[in-house]
Structure 1
Amino acid sequence: MIKRPTKSDLRRELEQQMADYLKQGGQITSVEQGASGLANGAYNKHQFSIGQPKQTRTAVPEVLVAIDSRRKKVPPAPQKTRQRTPRQQVIYDDFGEPLRVVWIDN
């Protein structure tokens, strides 16, 4: 079984990597609190496309009405009725000892 590293192991490893980075001449720059990585405060608006222009979608109310009307025409499934089966009931005496078993219809 592979042992997962604990938080303290991960923390120690991260501190070691930062120390190695600083020994090699790397610098850590501080960033102001609340600064964003977004360009001009906006998300990347360039979306992946295969070369075709973006198509606009138009609602087709006639088709939607036809689909809804077909849905309403489907009759509900009949409810299944369970047939009641007799069950056993144990008759006890005054001392809690079983006397006999009786079948009861519900």
Structure 2
Amino acid sequence: MIKPKTTKKDTRKELESLVDQFIERNGSIQQVDMGESGLIDGKYNTSHIGFSEPKQNRTPLNHVVAAIQQKKHKKTTTPVIVKKKPKKKVIYDDFGEPLRWVWEE
């Protein structure tokens, strides 16, 4: 049996019931200003941002890219040899009657 997908409406009902259960067990909800939870001592927490290290110099690899491009162009310039399929040819006698079939390439 296929399990039905949960809709947004079902998820909202479930969250609402969990909040109601929390409040019934003497839980309290503290109201905070918008954006306040992301601040530490009134400033944004920058310890998790990845810009703490200095900028590193990149190694130029232009010669490697040029070699790869050259290999690509070599592959496309080689002619493709297509083998012709053999054909069936009729051999006729002096009177125009077919004698036999011969395969020609």
Instruction: Report the TM-score, using the length of structure 1 for normalisation.
Output: 0.46
Larger radius of gyration, structure 1 or 2? 2
Greater fraction of residues in helix: 2
